[in-house]
Amino acid sequence: MAPKRSAREPTPSSATTAQISSTGAGSVPVVPSSKKAASANQSPQDIALGIWKNYLDATPQRTKLIDVFMSFLVVVGVLQFVYCVIAGNYPFNAFLSGFSATVGQFVLTASLRIQTNVENKAEFSSVSPERAFADYVFGSLILHFFCVNFIN
């Protein structure tokens, strides 16, 4: 169950990472005003286009970097999963650790992204961006230690 389900998890987000980001990084006030009332009857295609444009305009460079990394992880995860479905999961340990490495890293990166988001400052009063990055490194170290240990 797990691999399949969690495999599916990143998939929608891969298509929508961009959308997530469009809302992030202080771009909020911009978005509604640009859409205005005219957006009420737009087709979904238009909406997606508008969001994508906004994302390109309003996201800080660093956050974009994180997003690229996240979409890379999604691609790797999907590839592994497809391989597992097609070619069988024989060294199950290896597949599992590889796959959970991508999922875990994705989640950790998402956490970093959330924590460094200016918008969420109120939620994370005690977590500065530097602290968030240190946490991220700490978490990733543990994650990869376990993965390497598990891979056989």
Partner 1 sequence: MSDTVAEPFLKGNTGRNTRGILRLSILVLIAAAAIASRLFSVILDPWFNFRATKYLVSHGFYDFWDWFDDRTWHPLGRVTGGTLYPGLMVTSGAIYHALRALTIPVDIRNICVLLAPGFSGLTAFATYLFTNEMSTSPSAGLLAAAFMGIAPGYISRSVAGSYDNEAIAIFLLVYTFYLWIKAVKLGSAMWGALCALFYGYMVSAWGGYVFITNLIPLHVFVLVCMGRFSPRIYVSYCTWYSLGTLASMQIPFVGFLPIRSSEHMSALGVFGLLQLVGFVEFVRSGVPSKQFATLLRGFVLLVFTVAFGGLVLLTVSGVIAPWTGRFYSLWDTGYAKIHIPIIASVSEHQPTAWPAYFFDLNLLIWLFPAGVYLCFQSLADEQVFVVVYSILASYFSGVMVRLMLTLTPIVCVAAALALSSLLDTYLSVKSPEVPVEAGPDGTNGTPTPSKKAAKQDGLRSMRLPIVGIYTTFSKVSVVSALTAYLLIFVLHCTWVTSNAYSSPSVVLASRMPDGSQHIIDDYREAYQWLRQNTKDDAKIMSWWDYGYQIGGMADRPTLVDNNTWNNTHIATVGKAMSSREEVSYEIMRQHEVDYVLVVFGGLLGYSGDDINKFLWMVRIAEGIWPEEVKERDFFTDRGEYRVDDGATETMKNSLMYKMSYYNYCTLFPPGQCQDRVRGVKLPDVGPTLNTVEEAFTSENWIIRIFKVKDLDNAGRDHASASSFDRGNKKKKTIKKRGPKVLRVE
**Which residues here bind partner 1, judged by CB under 8 A?**
1-6, 8-9, 12-13, 16, 19-20, 22-24, 27-28, 31-32, 35, 39-40, 42, 44, 47, 51, 92, 96-97, 100, 103-104, 107-108, 110-112, 114-115, 117, 119-120, 123-124, 126-127, 131-132, 134-136, 138-139, 142-143, 146-147, 149-150
Cα–Cα distance, 97 to 100 (Å, whole number) = 5
Least distance CB 101 / partner 1 (angstroms): 9
Least distance CB 21 / partner 1 (angstroms): 9
**Closer Cβ to partner 1, 66 or 147, answer by number:** 147
Cα–Cα distance, 141 to 143 (Å, whole number) = 5
